[in-house]
Structures are given as structure tokens and as C-alpha cells.
Structure 1
Amino acid sequence: MKISTKGRYGLMLLVDLAQNDTGSPVALKTIAERQGLSEHYLEQLIAPLRNAGFVKSVRGAYGGYILARSGSEITAADAILTLEGPLEIVDEEIDDGFQELWDQLREAIQSVLSGVTLQDLANMRDRHAGSYMYYI
């Protein structure tokens, strides 16, 4: 199984909103610039995330997007499954005698993704960002 850019970038978008949650909406252009992503691509990803109830859109001159719930209430599984669909370890259910293995693997991946929230990922990024030393 490989998570596509759709899943990765959608997760980055949500984590950015969690990391920069001030209560004010954030424009996709701002997120795209901060994350080094295509604004056009983020526009395609935001609709399913909004439809799933993870983000709210705010219209107007100072509009943009905010998380619909706290970052501690939205898991990585929520984002990945919304954008990628169900986890598939093998292309189809086949009678190869290993179905139990494939099921256990899928459940383990699901468990890891369900155990990590957007806030956890935002905190990981903050810790990682603070670990670099710059010398001038």
C-alpha cells in the first residue's frame, strides 16, 4: 500500500491548520506557501475534507478555512481514509492462504493512523523544527 500525494498533502493541510489555529480563517494560498505545495492542488483536496466535516470555510475578504473541530479530535486516519478511501493491502481478496496476514496488517496500519491526532502531528513538527541549529 502506498499513500498518494492526495493523502499526504491533505494531511499536511490539516496539520498546518492545527498548528496555526488562532481562530481566524487561513487562506489556502497561505498554507500552500508555508508548506511548499500547489494552491491549485490544495483546492482539490479541501472539498472532501470540508464535506467530511473536518474543516469549515469562511467567505469574504478575510476568509479561508478553519478546523471544524479541535486538532486533538481529528486523527490521521480520518484524513487519510477520507482522501484515499479504505485501506487495501492487496488489490483484491484472493484465496492465497494469507488473508489473515493481510487483515492483521490492515488493522495494524489502521490502529497507528487512528492513534495519532492532528495535534500530535503538529507537536511532532514543532519539536522537529526546533531541533535545527543555524549559524551565521
Structure 2
Amino acid sequence: MELSCKSEYALLALLELAAHYNSAEPLQIRQIAAQQNIPDRYLEQLLATLRRCGIVRSQRGARGGYILAREPWKITLFEAMSCIEGADSQQTEHNAATRTMESMVIREIWQEADRATASVMQKYTLQDLAEKRDARRQLDIMYYI
């Protein structure tokens, strides 16, 4: 199990939006892309997907951009990942009669691992991610003093 580039970019963008949540000012795609080193066009697609899922809102106009649709402590990483990965993460079910005993055992263990991953991702919110980032930044500052 790996973190896809698509999910990582989406979480980085959401982390940037969470960092600016209290200002209530929307961030433009180019701002987020520059801050997090994400290609503009790719970020545009990711934000559109997140908007359709109700995780971010878009605002039009000269002062437009994207903002979180809810508070960062109310958006779980699981929700964001599910939105971004969507149907890509859904495995197609094969006919149970044609499966071997070995493939059924492998599938059961894979499903258990998937449930464990989902459980961990449901425990963490964007706020938790931001706090962990800020704590690491503090450690870096202390290290260099």
C-alpha cells in the first residue's frame, strides 16, 4: 500500500487551505501550487474533485479562489482520500465460485489491512495534520538555533 501522488498532492493542498482557514480569504490555485510545489493544471483537477465532494468551496471573482467548506477539525483524512481516490480504490469483485482458496485467503487479509488503514485515516483530521506539521517546524527551528 502506497500513498498515490494524486492523494499526496490533494492532502498538501488541503493542508495549505487549512493553514489559511482562520483568515477566511480564499487561496488561488497558483498560490497553493507555488507553496506546495504542485503543477497548476493537476491541482485544478484535484480541487474540482474536492469541491464536488463538498470538502472545499470555490469563490469566483478577482478575490476568488478556494477555501475549506468546513472547519479543518471536521474533515478527516479518510474523507479526503476517499474523495480523491474514489472509484480507483474500489476493487472489482470477481465471481466467488471461480476463486481459489489461496486467492480468497489473500483477499481476506488485504481487506483486513484496508479496514485498518481506513480506521487510522478516520482518526486524523486536517487540523491534526497541520498541528503535526507545526510541531515539526518548531523542532527544526530549535535544532538550528
Same fold (TM over 0.5): yes
What RMSD over aligned residues (CA atoms) do the two structures have, in Å?
A: 1.9
| Structure 1 stretches lacking a partner, 5+ long | none
More helix by share: 2
CA gap 1:128/1:92 in 2 versus in 1, 3 angstroms:
farther
Deviations 1:37-92 (A, max 9, x none): 2122111101110000000101111110100000111111111111112646x886
Q: What SS is found at the alignment partner of 1:69?
A: coil
| Residue of structure 2 in register with 1:77 after alignment | 78
Q: What SS is found at the alignment partner of 1:65?
A: strand
| Residue of structure 1 in register with 2:124 after alignment | 116
Partner amino acid, structure 2, of 1:114: Q
Aligned residues: 134
Q: Residue 76 of structure 1 contacts residue 117 of structure 1 at CA under 8 Å; is this kept in 2?
A: yes
* Greater RCO (Cα-Cα under 8 Å, separation 6 or more): 1
| Structure 2 stretches lacking a partner, 5+ long | none
> Normalising by the residue count of structure 2, what TM-score does the alignment of the two structures yield?
0.83
Distance 2:77 2:33 in 1: 19
> Normalising by the residue count of structure 1, what TM-score does the alignment of the two structures yield?
0.88
Of all paired residues, the percent bearing the same amino acid is 40
